[in-house]
């Protein structure tokens, strides 16, 4: 009887001591924290406490403790319970709690504006997903990938990515990821294939770009090769037609490319073309002729006159010529920096300008050449203008006559001196009366030499101005015969009415 009573009491105590209750959240979303708590009335009897999911043991504690799931995932859904083992009393199991983890947002899906875009065209990628209606306040961010390479700037709050241009190298697998900021739940889309289509190039053209619109020696020249259509990496090449040699090559993702010549030379003039190729077939442009204009060099001024020493009335030709320079060239002529006129050389070479000389035309002459690429001035050339041409001929005549009259003048002077000498001798003889002669006889026989009328020539020499020659001036006096021989010399020297003739002869 006593034993029976003890058994009844023990059974009642064990039933109360073994009662377990599992507590769990009623609503769980991805990323949430799950806390499982196994409640027991007599903790002193608990030797071990274990938690189970779908009859699979999760964890065993040596004491009373809760079980935590930090970030729930969909696979955490299931049936949970706990079980204890007693120190004195037998173990017990708790009630079963069913937990269903809800999806916070759907798996993203990658979409594209075109999965077969034309090369060079833009593509828009979108990472599409949807938040649970109960968690619309959750913030998401997105990231896009091609193969294993991150596209754009990486993670962004925008679910779209704009790619400005797709090229053949961009063909491949694309996918995206979406995740919450807090708590972190990350999901990725399936991979999608994007195939970029390439279009052959068309309408290749070559043009020049130069300052001022014309190619000038020493300036920079740009050869622009472009295509109207075509996709992908385009290889541009430049050629000179006369030699067929390649001048340069560039490969880039564009419809045009430039080749730069830093300083154009005269030898660069000629015909050029370019080619473009994007892997289908090379296309050549039309041939473009590129002339190179040459600035004028410093001109040389040449003066041409009909005689070595220009004189008044001569026709002077001014010839100006620049050795280098593209035509047409306009030449300007100057006298002492005063413009005389201009002359054009349409086909290059030099140009001339004529003037009829006057006394005022002495001085410095210069010229200027200009072909629109800058003007150049020549060095000054001096010229001295003499008297008129007839004056020079008179100089020659005067010299011839001066020489002739000089000889005649010398002869006349000799005769005059001879006569004077003999007359003086006669007078001396008459005054010296001979012995026996009568003093009273007034008639005395004397010697006299008649001097006929004559012209005396006196040569005078001088050098005249810039005329490079000696000039002989001859003075001619007319002497009348006088009966008074003693007064002859005085009359000759004092005669103021003598006729004077000046003439000149060339050297």
pLDDT of the residue at 420: 62
DSSP 8-class letter at 244: -
Contacts of residue 271, defined as CB under 8 A and 6 or more positions apart, other chains included, come to 240, 241, 242, 287, 288, 289, 290
Give the least confident one: 16-30, 87-101, 241-255, 329-343. 16-30
Residue of higher predicted confidence among 307 and 428: 307
Question: Does the pLDDT at position 397 exceed 60?
Answer: no
Q: Averaged over 410-416, what is the pLDDT?
A: 65
Residue with tokens 């065209």: 121
pLDDT of the residue at 476: 41
Kind of pairing between the strands at 172-180 and 140-146: antiparallel
Q: Which helix (H) or strand (E) holds 315?
A: strand 315-321
Secondary structure tally for the chain: helices H, strands E: 3, 38
Which tokens belong to 304? 């041409």
User: Omega into 417 within 30° of 0, i.e. cis?
Assistant: no
Question: Does the pLDDT at position 405 exceed 70?
Answer: no
Kind of pairing between the strands at 386-388 and 311-312: parallel
Dihedral sign, Cα of residue 383, residue 389, residue 393, residue 398: negative
Residues in the chain, how many?
507
Residues forming a β-bridge with 52: 57, 81
pLDDT of the residue at 388: 66
pLDDT of the residue at 254: 87
Which tokens belong to 299? 């001109």
Cβ atoms of 58 and 34 within 8 Å: the answer is no
- From 11, 81, 94, select the one nearest 51 (Cα to Cα): 81
Buried b (16+ CB within 10 A) or exposed e, 480-494: eeeeebeebeeeeee
Query: How many angstroms separate the CA atoms of 141 and 177, rounded?
Result: 8
Question: Does the pLDDT at position 32 exceed 90?
Answer: yes
Contacts of residue 440, defined as CB under 8 A and 6 or more positions apart, other chains included, come to none
Which tokens belong to 107? 């798996």
Confidence of residue 295 (pLDDT cuts 50, 70, 90): very high
Cβ atoms of 343 and 301 within 8 Å: the answer is no
Q: Averaged over 97-121, what is the pLDDT?
A: 93
pLDDT of the residue at 494: 42
Cβ atoms of 380 and 365 within 8 Å: the answer is yes
Could you read off the pLDDT of 123-141 as tens digits, one per residue? 999 999 999 999 999 999 9
CA dist 93 → 12, 119, 423 (Å): 17, 67, 194
Could you read off the pLDDT of 296-314 as tens digits, one per residue? 999 999 999 888 888 998 9
For a pLDDT cut of 90, what percent of the chain falls above it? 50
Which tokens belong to 254? 């564009």
Structural domains of the chain sorted by starting position, each given as residue range(s) with its CATH number in brackets = 20-102 (2.60.40.10), 109-194 (2.60.40.10), 202-293 (2.60.40.10), 299-383 (2.60.40.10)
Question: Does the pLDDT at position 218 exceed 70?
Answer: yes
pLDDT of the residue at 436: 36
The predicted model scores a pTM of 0.45
14: phi then psi, degrees, rounded to nearest 5: -65, -35
Complete edge-to-edge strand list for the sheet that includes strand 160-163: 109-112, 123-128, 160-163
Note the Cα 421 to chain centre separation in Å: 100
Contacts of residue 175, defined as CB under 8 A and 6 or more positions apart, other chains included, come to 110, 144, 145, 188, 189, 190, 191, 192
Question: Does the pLDDT at position 475 exceed 90?
Answer: no
Q: Where are the beta strands (DSSP E) in 67-122?
A: 67-69, 78-86, 92-93, 97-99, 101-102, 109-112
In three-state form (DSSP H/G/I as H, E/B as E, the rest C), the secondary structure along 132-180 is: CHHHCCCCEEEEEEECCEECCCCCECCCEEEECCCCHHHCEEEEEEEEE
Cβ atoms of 371 and 325 within 8 Å: the answer is yes
Question: Does the pLDDT at position 478 exceed 80?
Answer: no
Dihedral sign, Cα of residue 326, residue 332, residue 334, residue 339: negative
Note the Cα 430 to chain centre separation in Å: 115
Question: Does the pLDDT at position 470 exceed 60?
Answer: no
Q: Averaged over 178-182, what is the pLDDT?
A: 89
Question: Does the pLDDT at position 212 exceed 60?
Answer: yes
380: phi then psi, degrees, rounded to nearest 5: -75, 140
- From 111, 117, 33, 121, select the one nearest 72 (Cα to Cα): 33
Which tokens belong to 377? 């001035």
Residue of higher predicted confidence among 423 and 185: 185
What is the pLDDT of the chain when averaged over all its residues?
78
Please report which residue ranges of 58-209 form alpha helices under DSSP H: none
């Amino acid at each position: 009887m006593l034993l029976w009573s003890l058994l009844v009491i023990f059974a009642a105590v064990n039933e109360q001591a073994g009662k377990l209750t599992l507590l769990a959240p009623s609503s769980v979303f991805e990323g949430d924290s799950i806390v499982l708590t196994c409640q027991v009335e007599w903790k002193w009897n608990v030797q071990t406490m274990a938690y189970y999911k779908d009859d699979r043991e999760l964890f065993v504690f040596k004491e009373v403790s809760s079980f935590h799931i930090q970030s729930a995932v969909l696979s955490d859904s299931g049936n949970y319970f706990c079980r204890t083992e007693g120190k004195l009393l037998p173990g017990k199991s708790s009630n079963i709690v069913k937990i269903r983890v809800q999806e916070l947002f759907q798996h993203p899906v990658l979409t594209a504006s075109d999965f077969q875009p034309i090369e060079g065209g833009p593509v828009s990628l979108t990472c599409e997903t949807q938040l649970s209606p109960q968690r619309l306040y959750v913030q998401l961010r997105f990231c896009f990938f091609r193969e294993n390479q991150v596209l754009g700037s990486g993670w962004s709050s925008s679910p779209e990515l704009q790619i400005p241009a797709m090229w053949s190298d961009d063909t491949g697998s694309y996918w995206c990821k979406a995740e919450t900021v807090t708590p972190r739940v990350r999901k990725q889309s399936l991979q999608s294939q994007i195939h970029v289509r390439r279009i052959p190039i068309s309408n290749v053209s070559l043009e020049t770009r130069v300052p001022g619109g014309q190619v000038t020696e020493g300036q920079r020249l740009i050869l622009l090769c472009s295509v109207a259509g075509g996709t992908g990496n385009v290889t541009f090449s430049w050629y000179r037609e006369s030699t067929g040699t390649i001048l340069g090559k560039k490969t880039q993702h564009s419809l045009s490319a430039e080749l730069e010549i830093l300083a154009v030379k005269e030898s660069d003039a000629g015909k050029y073309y370019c080619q473009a190729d994007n892997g289908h077939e090379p296309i050549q442009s039309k041939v473009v002729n590129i002339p190179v204009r040459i600035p004028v060099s410093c001109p040389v001024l040449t003066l041409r006159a009909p005689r070595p020493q220009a004189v008044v009335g001569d026709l002077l030709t001014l010839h100006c010529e620049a050795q280098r320079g593209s035509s047409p060239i306009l030449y300007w002529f100057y006298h002492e920096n005063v413009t005389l006129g201009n002359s054009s050389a349409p086909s290059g070479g030099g140009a001339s300008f004529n003037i009829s000389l006057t006394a005022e035309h002495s001085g410095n002459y210069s010229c200027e050449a200009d072909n629109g690429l800058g003007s150049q001035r020549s060095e000054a050339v001096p010229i001295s203008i003499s008297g008129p041409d007839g004056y020079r001929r008179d100089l020659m005549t005067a010299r011839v006559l001066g020489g002739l009259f000089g000889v005649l003048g010398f002869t006349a002077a000799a005769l005059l001196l001879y006569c004077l000498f003999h007359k003086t001798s006669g007078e001396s003889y008459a005054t010296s009366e001979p012995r026996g002669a009568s003093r009273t006889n007034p008639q005395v026989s004397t010697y006299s030499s008649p001097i006929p009328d004559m012209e005396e020539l006196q040569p005078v020499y001088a050098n005249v101005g810039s005329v490079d020659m000696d000039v002989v001036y001859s003075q001619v006096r007319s002497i009348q015969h006088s009966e008074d021989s003693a007064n002859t010399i005085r009359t000759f020297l004092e005669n103021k009415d003598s006729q004077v003739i000046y003439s000149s002869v060339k050297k």
